[in-house]
Amino acid sequence: MAADVGRRVLLARGVRAPFVHGLWYIPVSMEETEIQFMRAALAEAERAAAEGEVPVGAIVVRGGEIVGRGGNRMIGSNDPSAHAEIVAMREAAQRLANYRLTGCTLYVTLEPCAMCAGAAVLARVDRLVYGCDDPKAGAVRTLFRLADDLRLNHRIEIARGVLAEECAACVREFFQSKRAP
C-alpha cells in the first residue's frame, strides 16, 4: 500500500524510478551540490594517485559540511583496510565523536567494495553517492548489493553515476600510466 502511494507521488513528479527489492531507486539529479561534493572526493583521489595509491577518494558530508575525507592509503600505511571510504568514515566518526554516522552522506569516486559497503552499513550512513561502477569489486550494485540488502538491519539510500566519466577516467589513467613503458 505505502509502495503504491510512493510510486504515485514519484510518477506525479515525473520521476520514473525502478522498484527493486521493495525499495524505490530515485535517479540522482546532477544538482550542483552533488557535483561539488563529488569534485571534493575526486580531489582526494588525485592526492592518493600522487602518492602512488590507487586513485579513489571519499568524503563524508553532514548538514552540508564535509566532516571526513580520505583517499586510498593502503600502500603507504601497509594497512589493507585503509580504503578511501574507511579513512573518510574514521575521520568523520572522530570529528563527530560518534561511530554512528546517521544523517551523513558518503561520496566516493568508485563503487565501494564489500568491506567498505559493510562498514557504511554498520556506521548507519544514510546515503551513498558514488561516481563509477567497479566491475571487479563493486559490492553496492555491480557484484553484490550489500548497502541496501533487505536482510540487514540498516539500508542505505544509493545514488550512482555522479561525474561517472571523470571518476572512471581517474582510475583508468592511473593504471594506464602504471603499464606504460
Check residue 135 and give its pLDDT. 94
Give the residue extent of every domain in the chain. 1-27, 31-179
Is the domain 31-179 a CATH 3.20.20.140 member? no
CA 55, 85, 107, 59 torsion: positive or negative?
negative
The model scores a pTM over 0.85: no
Is 165 an active-site residue? no
Residue 130 in grid coordinates: 558514488
169 C-beta neighbours (distance < 10 Å), count:
15
Candidate list 44, 53, 85, 111, residue with the active-site label? 85
Residue 81 in grid coordinates: 583496510
18 C-beta neighbours (distance < 10 Å), count:
9
Residues of the chain with pLDDT under 50: 1-16, 20-21, 24, 28
Q: Which amino acid is at 52?
A: G
